[in-house]
Amino acid sequence: MFTGLIERTGTIKSIGKVKNDYELTISSDAEFVSSLKTGDSISADGCCLTCEKTMKDSFKVRALKESAEKTIIADYRINAKINLERAMRADGRFGGHFVSGHVDGKGSVVFLRKTPEKINLRIKLAGKQGKYLIENDSISVNGISLTIKSVYDNEFTLDIIPETIRSTNIDALRRGSFVNVEINQMTKSIYEFLNRR
């Protein structure tokens, strides 16, 4: 379980294939990497992966083929900047919202506007996930806990503040970019419960 509060950004240093799975080497600062150990869960752009090996300033994770194709992992390129967060500790502070790390699917950036105060984003979801979108609800985009500003069928808008821009990979997004999206699990559970009665 994660909070959606990004701790560090990392850089994709290598992308390999082990059978049909993806093996990624991700670099970050030595302090962050030294806090990891084999078997730890880590959110990489919102996708829960397991640390398989740590080095001085990098670590390895593996993504199953199904997970890679459902997320933006299959689209990664060398030197891509990604958001990182360690799993939430039971005695830690909780400041975002519950993020499971199980990405619902990819969204595409259909509008992006930068101003000195913020970045305005409009993201389109695939399939029928728009039914779970609610204004002012929390949503995870590339692992970041954000608040939905407005909803238009399968699209939603976000206002990104400077601190989030500074500490994440949001600034690398362009129109047409794909992002990992995880719907608020509580919202989805309530919707499904009410509609199965």
In the numeric block, which tokens belong to residue 54?
Answer: 């740590």
Contacts 24+ apart (CB under 8 A), 138-141: 138/4, 138/96, 138/97, 138/184, 139/181, 139/182, 139/183, 139/184, 140/4, 140/46, 140/97, 140/99, 140/180, 140/181, 140/182, 140/184, 141/46, 141/107, 141/179, 141/180, 141/181
Is 3.40.630.10 the CATH classification of the domain at 8-86?
Answer: no
pLDDT of residue 89: 74
The top-level CATH class assigned to 105-195 is mainly beta
pLDDT per residue, tens digit, the chain (197 aa), is 899 999 999 999 999 998 889 999 999 999 999 999 999 999 999 999 999 999 999 999 999 999 999 999 999 999 999 999 999 876 666 677 889 999 999 999 999 999 999 999 999 998 888 999 999 999 999 999 999 999 999 999 999 999 999 999 999 999 999 999 999 999 999 989 998 86
Span 148-178, pLDDT tens digits: 999 999 999 999 999 999 999 999 999 999 9
Listed in order, the ranges of the chain carrying CATH 2.40.30.20 are 8-86, 105-195
